[in-house]
Amino acid sequence: MKTIALIEKGKDGSFGIFTPDLQNTIVGDGVTVSKAKVDFYNSVREVLAAYAEMEKQLPAELQDIEFEFRYDIASLFDYYKFINVSKFAEEAGINSSLMRQYKSGNQYISENQVLKIEEALHKIAREFAEIKLV
C-alpha cells in the first residue's frame, strides 16, 4: 500500500517526517532531511518488527507499504541541495528574495505559490527526462 509521508522543517531547524493517513503513525526526525529519512525507515522497521515479535497480524495498511514523500519548501531545498534557490525562483516566476524566505521557513507560502513551484519542478523534471547525452 502506498501512503503519504510528510516532511517538514520544524521551528528548531530540524526536519520531521510523519504519516498522517495511517492508524499506526510512523515518524522520523533529524538535523537534515536525509537523516530524518534514515530515522523514519528505522521506525518503519521497528513497527514491523514489533508486530512480528508479538506474533500479531500486520494491519492491512502496513502490508507491502510504500511511501510517497511530500516536502515543504524548506525540506525540498535541504534534500535537493544542488538546486540553486535563486535560479529556481527565476524559473518559477517568483521573486528570488521571497523564495529564499520560503526556503528558510520565515514566510507563509500560499497555495498558489506552491502550485507555481510544483509546476516549475515538474517542467524541469520533464526536460531532464528528455535529455540524451552523446
- 99-119 mean pLDDT: 92
Q: Give the DSSP H/E element, type plus range, for residue 78.
A: helix 73-79
The 15-18 sheet, strands edge to edge: 27-30, 15-18, 2-9, 66-71
Structural domain spans, the chain:
1-72, 83-134
Give the torsion sign (CA, 83, 112, 29, 38): negative
pLDDT of 106 above 90: no
Take residue 5 and report the three cell numbers written for it: 509521508
Q: What is the tens place of the pLDDT at every residue in 42-62?
A: 999 999 999 999 999 999 999
| The predicted structure's pLDDT at residue 1 | 84
Segment 10-17 long-range contacts (CB within 8 Å, at least 24 positions apart)? 11/105, 15/75, 15/78, 17/69
pLDDT score recorded for residue 125: 96
Q: Is the pLDDT of residue 128 over 90?
A: yes
**How far apart are alpha carbons 42 and 79 in whole angstroms?**
18
User: What average pLDDT does the segment 76-102 reach?
Assistant: 94
Q: Is the dihedral of CA 21, 13, 76, 80 positive or negative?
A: negative
- For position 53, what pLDDT does the model report? 95
Q: Which residues of 88-120 are buried (b: 16+ CB within 10 A; e: fewer)?
A: bbeebebeeeebeebbebeeebeeebeebbeeb
